[in-house]
Amino acid sequence: MFSLKALCLIIITSLFAGCGSQVGPENIRNERQDFNIALQQTNDEQMLLNLVRMKYRDTNMFLEVGAIASQYSLTSNITASGSLKDNFSNSIGLGTKIEYQEKPTISYTPLHGQSFIKRLLNQISPDTISLLYKSGWSVERLFLLCMERIQSVKNAPSASGPTPSYAPTFKDFKKLCDLLRDLQVAGDTQIDLVSLSKDPKVKDFGLALTFNENNSKTKEFKKLLGLGEADYYILQQNRAKKENELYFETRSIREILFYLSHAVEVPKKHIEAGLVTATKHKDGSHFCWKELSGDLLNVKSTTALVPPSNAYVSVRYRNAWYYIEDNDLNSKSTFALLIQLYDLQSGDTSGAAPVLTLPIGG
């Protein structure tokens, strides 16, 4: 028969063993997902916030999460009392107190400086466009964001900066992209990365565009650009010299941000107050930026106190909520492509020293 002392020892040992074996695995299981979701949501919110800022010509800022460190403490306090009587009528009293504390520390790094700004201002390279095309992105979405012109056909170059006061030129380029998308869906066009230099050490790339000549869309595409009967064309960032060479210009990630910021709808009272630029046609009539953005991206706004329940991502700015609807799949796709382009162009920030470290809770 166990003594009271032995019984208490077994209970205490079991309690400590149970706590010790579960705290670590349970923390990882519960908190990794929570941190993952929080980082993804705040990353999207930061991107949307900067698009809205650029619409108002406000200064933008990117803040990188450098590191997350969590400290855990578990303290247990157990008391036991009991009595053993002659008639074997035993009584045992137990008291327990378990305290669990979590102290996460978040390190933030403001992204700025010469190297970071230069990466944002560098034009999107042909190899980046090829990489994204090969990964399955729509050529229409990719070209509308990244391309500013092909030959003399312009994709709203004035939209690559702060909102202009005059309507941009873009309709022919939009038609080019529509035709390319139709050819892509039909499997009748291909885009490949090609080296423009005979020296393998020189990284000078272009894009080879091939078509199925039997598709009527191919003829429409060539007619818009005034092309001949070549089977393929080389898109390059230097001036074209041969019949099958096409000149093109790409945007930088900063120019892409400006281009998409025009899709932000602002409250009417902000327009009336002159907080954003009013863009007009030559005849003085108002130009609606939805003519340019179409289904590419729609950022809506509301002056309600809370964001709409159907918002995929939302931010509060200038006493209004700006948001992308959860069922607006085209806007979500464009927003996801923007995030990928930004990540590719902004470079590795892991080496930057964090300047802001905040303990949370405690």
From the CA atom positions of the chain, what is the Rg in Å? 30
pLDDT of residue 110: 78
Q: What is the mean pLDDT of residues 326-340?
A: 97
From the list 300, 303, 335, the residue with the least C-alpha distance to 314 is: 300
Q: What is the pLDDT of residues 235-261, one digit of tens each?
A: 888 776 777 889 999 999 999 999 999
Distance CA 29, CA 353 (A): 29
Give the residue from 344, 337, 339, 345 showing the smallest Cα distance to 139.
Answer: 337
Q: For the whole model, what pTM was predicted?
A: 0.80
For 25-68, the pLDDT digits (tens) are: 666 666 778 878 888 999 999 999 999 999 999 998 888 877 77
- Summary mean pLDDT of the chain: 83
> Rounded to an integer, what distance in angstroms lies between the CA atom of residue 67 and that of residue 346?
18
Looking at residue 33, what is its pLDDT?
Answer: 81
Distance, CA of 347 to CA of 120 (rounded, Å): 9
Give the residue among 239, 140, 253 at the shortest CA–CA distance from 196: 239
pLDDT in tens, 173-205: 999 999 999 999 999 999 999 998 888 788 889
> Domain extents for the chain?
1-122+252-362
Strands, E assignment, 12-140: 62-83, 91-111
